[in-house]
Amino acid sequence: MKFEEKALETKHVFKGKVIDLDVETVILPDGKKATREIVHHHGAVGIVCITENEKIILVKQWRQPLRKATLEIPAGKIDPEEKGPLNTAARELNEEVRLSAQSFEYITSFYTSPGFADEKMFLYRAHGLNSVEKNLPRDAGEFLNIFELSMEQVEEEIKKGTICDSKTLMAIWYWKMNRIKE
Amino acid sequence: MKFEEKALETKHVFKGKVIDLDVETVILPDGKKATREIVHHHGAVGIVCITENEKIILVKQWRQPLRKATLEIPAGKIDPEEKGPLNTAARELNEEVRLSAQSFEYITSFYTSPGFADEKMFLYRAHGLNSVEKNLPRDAGEFLNIFELSMEQVEEEIKKGTICDSKTLMAIWYWKMNRIKE
């Protein structure tokens, strides 16, 4: 079966700080027309930090789309001027949790919502964590607290719904799978 | 630290078939103002189907936001008139892969992009798969092919980038963790 949809016309609906929104008219494989709502995003990076005493580092912050505060792994948007997601990982690790890493191990990458968005998330594990000497400035309007949670505490926060996003659940599953292996 | 952001004003930028977009002006914990771009979505369901001969059922479809065809687990948007995500799971299993399940086991749920969207995804494992007697109609503009892949084939498609979205990777990690346990 031929799948490809061809864009006939693109309407730029919105240009924002975090996302842009286009509505595309496409020709379907059967020749009919349809519209596709597409959110454009520069992509993001999430970082798995496991401490020497087997805890995961999480940040608590307000998420206005969810109307609540969540616990998530350190993460942030890729600046289009940054040369590759590893630079984003190093910057966000400093900005959000004031740490540097000796190395980053690539875990996986994924599209968060392929039905309506092109946001791609890169997941890394940070090795050799150290406190930074010089704090990078946080984004305006970024308020967060840093936590270290054991696997048992993590399970509790998942039940409560405070840990509730895909990249953080994947970080925890990755941590769990690695503990089984070790 | 107090985190909450309070909405002062909401501008409805776009109302679509799949998403709506609002821009909210909020008051930050320090009293300053900021804007938040928020995509509203009714939520979605993804279904993990493992066959008796240890293969996972995936659908191939065109994803215009990614400009490519992907392999994903059967999934679909929650219709606001459906009473709960389990009904969505049963409907999508029929529409997309022409199967019914004797039961659905809840795996997890998560927000796909908590920074800019309220989309929540519910992940279920389907048990007791059978061919359906009556095919439900697919959505207009929905073209897909059905595949059954072994774990080895899945790993190959992840490398190629055909399997590339969060819910499908979580489905595969869940499958992997269960195989370790068994």
- DSSP letter for A65, please: G
Residue of B3, B9, B157 to mutate, interface with A, max A Cβ within 10 Å: B3
Q: Report how many Cβ contacts below 8 Å link chain A to chain B.
A: 192
CB contact under 8 A, B170 and A167: no
Tell me, what amino acid is at A109? Answer: S
Chain B residue with minimum CA distance to A145: B1
Q: How far is B53 from chain A (nearest CA, A)?
A: 24
What is the pTM assigned to this prediction? 0.96
CB contact under 8 A, B7 and A66: no
CB contact under 8 A, B165 and A116: no
Chain B residue with minimum CA distance to A43: B113
Contact present, B85 and B77 (Cβ < 8 Å): no
Quick one: pLDDT at residue B181? 65
CB contact under 8 A, B17 and A37: yes
Quick one: pLDDT at residue B167? 98
Class of B44-178 in CATH: alpha beta
Per-residue model confidence as pLDDT tens digits over A60-87: 999 999 999 999 999 999 998 998 999 9
Tell me the chain B residues in contact with residue A13 when contact means C-beta distances shorter than 8 Å: 13-14, 21
**Looking at the DSSP assignment, which residues form a beta bridge with residue B122?**
B45, B109
- DSSP letter for A84, please: S
Low-confidence residues in chain B, pLDDT < 50: none
Q: Which of A21, A38, A62 sits opposite B3 (nearest CB)?
A: A62
The complex's ipTM? 0.95
Q: What is the DSSP annotation of B105-141? A: EEEEEEES-TTTB--EEEEEEEEEEEE-SSPPPPPTT
CB contact under 8 A, A39 and B39: yes
Please provide the average confidence, as pLDDT, over all residues in chain A. 95
Per-residue model confidence as pLDDT tens digits over A75-130: 999 998 998 999 999 999 999 999 999 999 999 999 999 999 999 999 999 999 99
CB contact under 8 A, B60 and A3: yes
Per-residue model confidence as pLDDT tens digits over A139-176: 777 789 999 999 999 999 999 999 999 999 999 999 99
Chain B residue with minimum CA distance to A60: B3
Structure tokens at B96: 């997309």
Phi first, then psi, for residue B86 (nearest 5°) are -65, -35
pLDDT band, residue A182 (cuts 50/70/90): low
